[in-house]
Amino acid sequence: MGTTLRGVGVSHGVAIGEVRHMGTTVLEPPAKQIGPEEAEREQARARQAVDAVAADLNARGNLAGGEAQAVLEAQAMMAQDPDLLADVERRIAVGSSAERGVYDAFASYRALLANAGEYLAGRVADLDDVRNRIVARLLGVPMPGVPDSDEPYVLIARDLAPADTALLDPSLVLGFVTEEGGPTSHSAILARALGVPAVVALPGAVELAEGTLIAVDGSTGEVHVEPSAERQAELEEAAAARKAALSGVTGPGATSDGHKVPLLANIGGLSDVQAAVEAGAEGVGLFRTEFLFLDDSERAPSEEKQVEAYRSVLEAFPEGRVVVRVLDAGADKPLAFLTPADEPNPALGVRGLRSLLDHPDVLRTQLTALARAAEGLPVYLEVMAPMVADRADAKAFADACRAAGLHAKFGAMVEIPSAALRARSILQEVEFLSLGTNDLAQYTFAADRQVGAVARWQDPWQPALLDLVALSAEGAKAEGKSCGVCGEAASDPLLACVLTGLGVTSLSMGSASIPYVRATLAKHTLAQCERAASAARAADSAEGARAAAQAVLSGE
């Protein structure tokens, strides 16, 4: 009889196949000493390996495109970080080999991040991957990565680096399971973009033996070990039913009784637009402009470069709604020209709008570029600020938009609990709210969104988080304004019904999730969604909230 394990489902679908483990083991280099005459040669070897790994990461990014490209380019920049490279060369100068110098320098930097409270834990996983790739190249051993296999399989790993996730072949990798990570980690976001079923934060995942047959349900987070033939048939039948339901529902998002809920796409650039259009997105609910800025951490892109990038996206949605988030730098997206380098807790420091208000020229250039990009286009442009804490923040942003000559709606993201609590006050200055549920959960529960150990508090079904969503939606309704959700919560079809019942007016998600959400909304009335929302808020846990909503919507 098989057993069932539970992690966090982060990408819809069911995958049934044999386990294959990610090859990530890199032997620790020996601590041999070199002579002074060898130091220059070893330093050159280290620089060559670093440059080769950075070039490989950039090449993978070019192949992958979209959000994956931006993540991998940021990782390549990490490989070539001048401070890290200086530390490597210093260690070689006092007797370390190239591989040992790299290993120890990265270990030192990793410890610094961990001692800062792991606010940059998501970048720690990326850092480990960069180190492994450089050391493997220096040792002349195979790069860490996806196993070779001619047969489809389910990939198991302690964690997946973006470089691996970005180029997964869906025809071979049926799905993946990781022991670490969370619902808003880089790998989870990229899995949804690929449409590969995935479960993260599964205790004991790496202990599953090679070749074990498992069934991964990316919707529920369940992993069935050695499932019976009957269980496999049930899962496949449910997956087939879901697929059939998707193809039977088209058009704008709406409940079964006609209550409209626009379904929008989250994108990182032009390469994500085609998938959004094919999924029937009614516009863009979150255009993450920071990916444009990650090309060069030392300076902001020129106004002309920004105009070109923004216009290419705006042109793809004629007469559609496009919501642009101005640069959200800081925390796990540091930029040398914008964010402080020595903050002890970057996620609680100068990030988002705070960074932009400290550097008004960067904000002004971006807003001017958006105004120019929208000229003459029949698009409904909306621009919002990240990390708005209060009315003063909202006013400062709206004033900057007007000063830049921007003819668009101005909005505020609700990512800090204070913004949800004072939604009506903030709406005296701006015209709409957009809930970033990933960060809102992080700040509500003091649970870093990149740390697998606290993933349960990142669950968007947490009743306290639903209370904050309700407060925001109620405030917007009282002011006659809109309140959307652009966090990963919107990609859960069942939760999308609950969010609708809470009064949310639009939902934005990764393009692959739009058909699932559209089909699920179309099966329920607004009144059912409202009852499911009330039942979920009355629960005392995320699991209880999910079960209560499911019971209402299934008629139990």
Rounded to whole angstroms, the Cα distance separating 454 from 461 reads 14
Name the helix (H) or strand (E) containing 267.
strand 263-267
What's the Cα-to-Cα distance from 220 to each of 25, 162, 391, 508, rounded to whole Å? 30, 23, 39, 21
Torsion angle, alpha carbons of 295, 298, 302, 306, to 10: 40
With H, G, I as helix, E, B as strand and everything else as coil, classify residue 29.
coil
Nearby residues of 505 by Cβ (< 8 Å), 6 or more positions away: 261, 262, 473, 476, 482, 483, 484
Residue 5, amino acid: L
Helix (H) or strand (E) holding 326: none
DSSP string, 81-107: -HHHHHHHHHHHHTTB-HHHHHHHHHH
Gap between the Cα atoms of 398 and 391, Å rounded = 10
Q: What is the 8-class DSSP label of residue 22?
A: -
48: nearest Cα among 93, 79, 5? 79
Would you please indicate which residues are annotated as catalytic (active-site) residues?
186, 486
Indicate the Cα dihedral angle 130, 131, 133, 138, nearest 10°.
Answer: 140
Q: Which two tokens stand for residue 388?
A: 């708005």
| 8 φ/ψ angles, rounded to the nearest 5 degrees | -115, 115
Q: Are 72 and 54 in contact (CB under 8 A)?
A: no
Whole-angstrom distance, CA of residue 347 vs CA of residue 313: 29
The DSSP H or E segment spanning 342 is none
Nearby residues of 59 by Cβ (< 8 Å), 6 or more positions away: none
Q: What distance in Å separates the CA atoms of residue 521 and residue 385, rounded to the nearest whole number?
A: 29
